[in-house]
Amino acid sequence: MSSAASEQTFETIADIIAETASVDRAKITPGAHVINDLGIDSLDFLDIVFEIDKRFGVKVPVEAWTEQVNSGKAPAEQFFVLGALCQRIDELVAAKQA
């Protein structure tokens, strides 16, 4: 995590994942891949994104991210490893406040 804000973001998102997808909170680490390591399927991920959208007041651009990954323009780790995901959320929040 690159900043205190990201630490707080991580805690919030980890709580969301634990509550929404019934994932053991201890398994949710900054290095965990949301899909591969935490076993979250697409519907649970959709629920998680809804909670993130609500709590952070943003619109997580999942479709754009997925398109970047599928077209080879970005690695999946850039969006779907938890530490990186938190940074992306911080960036979305900062962009909204700018």
Partner 1 sequence: MRLEYFEMIDRVLSHDATHLTAQAHVPEASPVFEGHFPGFPLMPGVLMIEAMAQACGWLMVTRSQFSRMALLAKVREAKLRGMVKPGALLTVTAELIHDGSGYAVLRGTLAEGTARAAEAELTLRTMAFPAPELEAAMRARALVIGLA
Q: In the complex, which residues of this chain contact partner 1 (CB under 8 A)?
A: 43, 46-47, 49-50, 53-54, 59-64, 66
Of 1 and 58, nearer to partner 1 (C-beta) is 58
Minimum distance from residue 60 beta carbon to partner 1 (Å): 6
Nearest to 13 by CA among 74, 68, 64, 88: 88
Return the percent helix, strand and coil in the chain, to nearest 5.
Answer: 65, 0, 30
CB closer to partner 1, 43 vs 95: 43
Q: How far is the CB of 55 from partner 1 (least distance, A)?
A: 12
